[in-house]
Structure 1
Amino acid sequence: MIPAPPVPAALRGYVVARIPYDVDFGAPGMHRGLPSTTITLVLPLDDPLRVSWAGRPASLHSAWASLSGLHTEPAAIHHDGSQRGVQVALTVEGVRVLLGRPAADLSGALTDLDEAVVPQALRDLPERLHALASWPARVALVDRTLAGLAARGGDPAPRAEVAHALALLTSGNRVAEVAEEVGYSRRRLGTLVRAECGLAPKAFQRVARLETARGLLGHRPLAEVADACGYADQAHLTREWTALAGCTPTTWLREEFPFVQDRDDDGGAGLQA
């Protein structure tokens, strides 16, 4: 990945990251897109992004700006051996403020900016991005565009108790504990969370836990990752990864980092440069 400056203060809370990327895979293939707690906007530079839901070739979508909502299954990102562009990770609140709609509208969808109901400034971004020659200029354009949308203000932020519930679920709190904390029944909490992000609280929590585990894989043995992330045991971690990512943690590591080698007999793995 290419270094990028920190997210500007005006965008914090709305944008988790803007990631410029220039990747040489060596040969055509497919990259696995895992579920996460953020909404993904990808702005490719060389060719339209071709993405589908894993195992569902009929869902293949090609676009110069790919927007995907929260989901509980892996995406298949097809490439010809290399990819360049900018990827933006938006929070649930960021979708409301920047795109002017709740994240639930995008849940489980693979769409482009021409198909989605989004501000014109965002629709114009891919063409403007292609006219620039340097990575700093591209990131700066993305930042200016999003900051302009933030200043304009789209839909109001999610109600405070729902935003608090999502933060608690992201941190690994149990659904019953979150409902008690925000003062709702589990049923009412489920209705509000689903209306905001498109996932039920339990599904959102599972995705958040997967996201946390993803950051630890390759650095610690799988049993330690399972314990740190709140899985019952390593077998539970593996079942959840297979259900949400479409593969085991070890398989994902070998796909993402071909230099991964087994470190121990209990499934732990380490990265070697």
Structure 2
Amino acid sequence: MTTAQTLAPVVTAEDLERRLTPPAALRPWITEIARIPTVHPGSAAFTHIPQVVTSIVLRTEESGRRDAWVLGPRTRATYSSPDTAAGCTRIRLAPGASQSLLGIAAAELTDRIAVLSDLPGPVADLADRLLELDPDEVAPFLEAVLPHRLSEDSVRRDHRRLLDSAVAAMDTAGPVTALAADLAVSERQLRNLFAAGIGVSPKHYARIARVRQVLAAAGNTPWSHVATASGYYDQSHMTADFRSLMGVPPTAYFRGDIPAPSPCQSLTRL
């Protein structure tokens, strides 16, 4: 019986992060603030694994240049190698928060990168100030300023709460039909909520979640057990889904046989 590799030689961008739980005043809209220290050219290629959140990224190059971007949900892995010495702060938005903070639905950002100041939401007005801050100053600044700039009606708050419940139930609800029934909404309403608030369908959300479970669970364990623990019918279904989202099957990935690094994704002017 084949087993997963004990250690993956592939480094992910998330492996480099130092994570901070945001202050309570920010948690309705922000789930995590993470810092990646300066990464230099010549470092080994690393993986950006699929991610079902929208993030504000404050990037600082060693030369002093600073940029504020928005990264939408990533539906497939990408592989890159740094060409400029730079570090960044990632501000991850809660499900349903994109419209309130950025002024657009999450689906408009899926697999895209935008300039923060181009967006119509209230956080865009803070872009220049955010770029002046040291990483440790970002959370206190947002705590002091952001809640007073946001205006949400009861419908938007209800949508955020419903998405929170849907995400929490994804592991146990089974098919989308069952999840919608548990939440007392139609399947169409649920898909629309996921598209606007998260940027992917419930089905694709579940696929990404399962692949991330495989990435977290791989170790000195039979692949068939990893597949079952991650919610797959069998190992062959796990392998096919992993290949679709990661570009290579799990056995190749965990021995470091990954796609060649590609240039960074270009910015999208919205």
**In structure 2, what is the equivalent of residue 261 of structure 1?**
none
Aligned partner of 1:113 among 108, 113, 116: 116
Give unmatched runs, 5+ long, in structure 2.
1-15, 258-270
Q: Does 1:46 align with 2:61?
A: yes
The structural deviation recorded for 1:229 is 1.5
Identity %: 25
Q: Distance in 2 between matches of 1:19 and 1:83?
A: 15
Q: Distance in 1 between matches of 2:144 and 2:97?
A: 11
Q: Distance in 1 between matches of 2:44 and 2:192?
A: 39
Q: Distance in 1 between matches of 2:172 and 2:39?
A: 34
Q: Distance in 2 between matches of 1:4 and 1:196?
A: 23
Give CA deviations for 1:197-256 in whole Å, capped at 9, x if unaligned: 332221122122223333323474433322111011222222111111222334444559
Q: Distance in 2 between matches of 1:246 and 1:114?
A: 33
**In structure 2, what is the equivalent of residue 56 of structure 1?**
none
**In structure 1, what is the equivalent of residue 93 of structure 2?**
90
**In structure 2, what is the equivalent of residue 123 of structure 1?**
127
**In structure 2, what is the equivalent of residue 21 of structure 1?**
36
1:37·1:211 contact (CA, 8 Å) conserved in 2?
no
1:216·1:225 contact (CA, 8 Å) conserved in 2?
yes
Q: Which segment drifts farther, 188-197 or 109-118?
A: 188-197
Give unmatched runs, 5+ long, in structure 1.
49-62, 133-137, 257-273
Matched ranges for 1:96-107 at <5 A: 96-107=99-110
Match of 1:93, SS? coil
Q: Does 1:203 align with 2:204?
A: yes
Q: Does 1:145 align with 2:142?
A: yes
2:57·2:69 contact (CA, 8 Å) conserved in 1?
yes
Q: Which structure carries more strand by proportion?
A: 1
Distance 1:8 1:107, change over 3 A: same
The structural deviation recorded for 1:42 is 2.1
Q: How much is the aligned-residue C-alpha RMSD, in angstroms?
A: 3.3
Q: Does 1:157 align with 2:148?
A: no
The structural deviation recorded for 1:45 is 1.2
TM-score, with structure 2 as normaliser: 0.71
Match of 2:74, SS? coil
Matched ranges for 1:1-273 at <5 A: 1=16, 3=18, 5-22=20-37, 24=39, 27=42, 30-46=45-61, 64-80=67-83, 82-119=85-122, 120-129=124-133, 132=134, 138-145=135-142, 148-155=145-152, 156-159=156-159, 160-169=161-170, 173-218=174-219, 220-255=221-256
The structural deviation recorded for 1:107 is 2.3
Q: Distance in 2 between matches of 1:3 and 1:143?
A: 17
Q: Which segment drifts farther, 204-213 or 139-148?
A: 139-148
1:172·1:209 contact (CA, 8 Å) conserved in 2?
no
2:22·2:139 contact (CA, 8 Å) conserved in 1?
no
The structural deviation recorded for 1:162 is 4.2
Give CA deviations for 1:43-71 in whole Å, capped at 9, x if unaligned: 221169xxxxxxxxxxxxxx822312223
Q: Distance in 1 between matches of 2:99 and 2:222?
A: 38
- 1:45 alignment partner AA: T
**Greater RCO (CA < 8 Å, at least 6 residues apart):** 2
Match of 1:65, SS? strand
- 2:150 alignment partner AA: G
Q: Distance in 1 between matches of 2:19 and 2:187?
A: 41
Give CA deviations for 1:129-152 in whole Å, capped at 9, x if unaligned: 3xx4xxxxx233244225522343
The structural deviation recorded for 1:190 is 2.3
1:28·1:80 contact (CA, 8 Å) conserved in 2?
no
TM-score, with structure 1 as normaliser: 0.71
Q: Distance in 1 between matches of 2:254 and 2:86?
A: 20
